[in-house]
Amino acid sequence: MVEKVALVTGASRGIGAAVARRAVAAGYTVALNYRRDETAARSVLRDLDAAGPGGLLVRADVGDEAEVVGMFETIDRELGRLDALVNNAGILFPRSRVVDVDAARLTELYRVNVTGTFLCCREAVRRMSTRSGGSGGAIVNVSSVGSKAGGAGFFVDYASSKGAIDVLTKGLGGEVAADGVRVNAVRPGLIDTDIHDGFGIENWVERVAPTLPMGRAGTVDEVADAVLWLLSDAARYCTGSILDVTGGG
């Protein structure tokens, strides 16, 4: 019998894959969401199956409402419960100033980063909330230090999408605080992952890392540890909280 289940979105690589590995180590059965790269997702799943309760692959574009609803129904059917949700899936477009941003880019960025997070929160709360017969749960949203810094000259569009995540975290956290559901966020700084590959600046991570207070980029495991803490009972009095994981930046 499955004891506790966590859905991690965008878990085929990067921070999401690290969260999925940490979640299995903490005893969760993981519903591992990916959008495109099934081979990469299967490789993470093999690690989960070898390390603990294992997992289930659930393909869905988080910005597509029908696919999100289908993903949660698959989890209901295959795993029978949901205790934790990590809204990690997110995209970043190549560097741009606001004067060069068009509507198509904004629409896609907000569809994935904002609408996707809202839809997954909605489906999770419907299952977890004691108000609707659930037994409680915890949600962690993955924001970005960009929401504080603004991303001037590089990614104001992306930073503003993460600002929406901060507000969602605070607002939904208050909305369901009395219903057994905690909603928190991590706000990573510069983390060495593939998300920077299409950013349009050669060696972005290597160039920025020495300018940070700790003098280095963060690792995916350092973010995953913060996520797992927020999901855990050790964080039972935290909701609507945003934890910076930025090496002081």
Q: Which residues bind ligand NAP (CB under 6 A)?
A: 9-10, 12-16, 33-37, 61-63, 88-91, 112, 116, 142, 144, 188, 190-191, 193-195
From the CB of 50, what's the least distance to ligand NAP, in Å? 20
From the CB of 131, what's the least distance to ligand NAP, in Å? 28
Which residue, 56 or 190, has its beta carbon nearer to ligand NAP? 190
Determine which one of 34, 110, 158, 237 is catalytic.
Answer: 158
Which residue, 129 or 144, has its beta carbon nearer to ligand NAP? 144
From the CB of 89, what's the least distance to ligand NAP, in Å? 4
List all residues 6 or more positions away from 105 whose beta carbon is below 8 Å from its beta carbon: 93, 96, 157
From the CB of 201, what's the least distance to ligand NAP, in Å? 13
Does the annotation mark 158 as catalytic? Answer: yes
Which residue, 5 or 11, has its beta carbon nearer to ligand NAP? 11
d(C-alpha 195, C-alpha 200), whole Å: 11
Query: What is the strand order of the sheet 137-142 is part of?
Result: 55-59, 29-34, 5-8, 84-87, 137-142, 181-188, 242-245
Which residue, 79 or 142, has its beta carbon nearer to ligand NAP? 142
Catalytic residues, by residue number, are 158
